Amino acid sequence: MDEKLPPPSPQQEATLERERQSRRTFLMNVGIALNAAVAAVIATPVVVYLLGPVLRRSEYRSWIAIGNISDFPPRETKLVKFRNPYTDPSDGATGDIPAYVRCSEPGSFTVFAINCAHLGCPVRWFAESQLFMCPCHGGVYYADGSRASGPPERGLFTYEHRIESGKLFIKAGQLPTLSNQAVSRPCPSATMPYQPTLVSRISPCPPAEPGTHASTIG
């Protein structure tokens, strides 16, 4: 014999409806939270890439002492190494960056990036011939960093530098390239005094005299 349960009272109906609404709201909130988490995971790399220049750490480019000015005799070029300020402990020796320091006369210095302006191979300094030479594709540069011959279309890139308390400092943390602040010899016809600018392309110098000694930053 089947027994039928009595229908729920209005109070019970209201309680059941509240429980159903609560479960529905809870599941909806869980779904929204999961979707938001997935969207955040997907969007984070894009946001970091777009905001990278703004969020870049302050020590990414900072002044670093690379030696006393007395370490660099006039009319000599010396290979030095400095620690990249933007490194992690796991970087090891890869955080040591080489550069060439040229003292043309007392108190006058140029700090060259070691990378060839053609494809970035490390150049070597030959004191006997007073030339920088690239072993990869035959690029050659004069002692002042300007192009002598070979595939490179411009002279060597140089670091910003300053002298303070008898020490030579450079603005390190980023290799000088055409996409950032690069200091270079101007074209012979450039208006003086020459000021470093943000450059984005290479353009040849106007013809001035026979030879290929002029750098070609534009």
pTM to 2 decimal places: 0.56
Task: Record the tokens describing residue 10, joined without a space.
Answer: 């209005």
What three-state secondary structure class fits 217? strand
Higher pLDDT, 88 or 83: 83
What three-state secondary structure class fits 200? coil
Task: Record the tokens describing residue 157, joined without a space.
Answer: 């890139």
Q: What pLDDT shows up at residue 124?
A: 93
Give the residue-averaged pLDDT of 186-192. 43
Percent of the residues in the chain that have a pLDDT greater than 70, as a whole number:
71
Q: What pLDDT shows up at residue 77?
A: 92
| Interval 143-182: pLDDT, tens | 999 999 999 888 999 998 899 899 999 888 777 765 554 4
CA distances from residue 97 to 34, 42, 80, 145 in whole angstroms, order as listed: 45, 35, 8, 18
Spatial contact of 179 and 92, defined as CB atoms under 8 Å apart: no
CA distances from residue 84 to 22, 49, 78 in whole angstroms, order as listed: 57, 22, 19
